[in-house]
Each structure stands twice: as C-alpha cells, then as structure tokens.
C-alpha cells in the first residue's frame, strides 16, 4: 500500500516538476508547481511527517505559489518567454549546482534527523515518550533549538519591515502623484 502510494506520488512529483519546466504558459507552470508541492506533501505523510506535510501545503501551495500567480496575473507576464539567455554561464553553473544538490541529498539520506527518527520510516516517532511527532517537533523547537528559532523569527520580521520600507519609499517618490500608489500591507 505504502509502496504503491509512494510510486504514484513520486511519479506525480516528477511529472509536475517536468511540467513546471516544459509548460509554455507561466500560469500552467505555477499549477504544475502546485502539483509537485502537494505530491511532496503526500510523500512527507508517507514518512509520518504530518506537520511538515501540512506546513508544505499551507506555506508553499497556499501562500508562495499564490503570490507567484498574483505576480503573473497582475503584471501580465503571461506571454511565452524568449529562449535567449541573459546570462551565458547560467546553464553550466545550474548543472553543477544541481549535481552538488543531488550528492548532498544522497549523503543526507543515510543520516538521522533531529527528532531522533531514522531516515527511512518514522519508526519510534508516533506514540513515543513525547506523544505525537508534532508535539515532539514543538518540544525540540522550543528547547534545544530555541535560539536559532527566535533568530529566524527576527530575521523574518526584518525582511517584512524591509519590504514595507522599500514599498513605501517607491510610493513616495514625487513623480507618482496618481492614486496608483500601492496600499502597503494589502
């Protein structure tokens, strides 16, 4: 059962990823990206990582790709892009980085996670001493990794404030006297 599901959603993940690259229309690419993200969420579920699966859908599918779509729809870039590359060294660098990433993933696949689980299947995570793996993640996050967690939060707040400041500044330039200044925050 698990194996069958793994193959189905693995195939969907790869198919979606290919669709992202191959689709001509940016909106279709974004939709294929959603397919990939949701399939990966299912793969997370197969690993008993329910929290990661939920966060994957809420954050990536529910927020980030929606943002992509907003940009594509509002800025009207939904035409096919020319294939001429602005940066000529882009392709070899992308290949090299991809190879490094693959090596990294293969290396990491043999290690243990912070939650104490082995990599293959979440043995010992559910129903352990700390309850479900959500409680376990929470406990680790708010005890052992509290400092990095808080630092990340501060980093995100800085990013948000920075974005607001930049948006405001461009709205205040004297040449934009029309009402088209974007409402901050919305």
Q: Which of 159, 164, 162, 158 is nearest to 184 (CA)?
A: 164
Q: How far is the CB of 108 from other proteins (least distance, A)?
A: 24
Q: Which of positions 140-159 make contact with other proteins (CB under 8 A)?
A: none
Site string (11-40) toward other proteins, x via CB under 8 A = --------------x-xx--x--x------
Say how far apart CA 48 and CA 68 lie, in whole Å. 29
SS3 label, residue 111:
coil
Q: Which of 147, 127, 128, 146 is nearest to 138 (CA)?
A: 146
Nearer to other proteins, 167 or 181 (CB): 181
Angle between helices 26-46 and 65-75 in degrees, nearest 10: 180
The two three-digit tokens of residue 83, written as one number: 């294939």
Closer to other proteins by Cβ: residue 90 or 135: 135
- CA–CA dist 162, 110 (Å, integer): 39
Report how far residue 72's alpha carbon sits from residue 6's, in angstroms, rounded to the nearest whole number: 32
What are the phi and psi torsion angles at 87 (to 5°)?
-110, 120
Between 94 and 165, whose beta carbon lies closer to other proteins?
165
Give the nearest distance from C-beta 18 to other proteins in angstroms.
Answer: 17
CB of 54 to other proteins, least distance (A): 4
Nearer to other proteins by Cβ, of 88 and 169: the residue is 169
Residues at the contact surface with other proteins, assessed by CB under 8 A: 1, 25, 27-28, 31, 34, 50-51, 53-55, 57-58, 61-63, 66, 69-70, 73-74, 127, 132-134, 172, 177, 181, 183, 185-186
């Amino acid at each position: 059962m698990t194996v069958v599901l793994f193959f189905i959603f693995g195939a969907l993940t790869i198919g979606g990823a290919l669709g992202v690259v191959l689709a001509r229309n940016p909106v279709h690419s974004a939709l294929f990206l959603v397919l990939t993200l949701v399939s990966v969420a299912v793969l997370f579920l197969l690993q008993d990582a329910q929290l990661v699966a939920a966060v994957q859908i809420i954050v990536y599918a529910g927020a980030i790709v929606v943002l992509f779509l907003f940009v594509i729809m509002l800025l009207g870039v939904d035409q096919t892009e020319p294939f001429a590359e602005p940066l000529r060294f882009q392709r070899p660098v992308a290949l090299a980085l991809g190879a490094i990433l693959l090596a990294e993933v293969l290396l990491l696949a043999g290690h243990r996670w912070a939650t104490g689980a082995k990599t293959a299947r979440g043995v010992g995570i559910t129903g352990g001493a700390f309850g479900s793996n959500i409680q376990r993640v929470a406990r680790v996050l708010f005890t052992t990794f509290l400092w990095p967690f808080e630092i990340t939060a501060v980093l995100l707040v800085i990013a948000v404030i920075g974005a607001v400041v930049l948006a405001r500044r461009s709205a205040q330039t004297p040449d934009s006297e029309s009402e088209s200044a974007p409402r901050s925050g919305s």
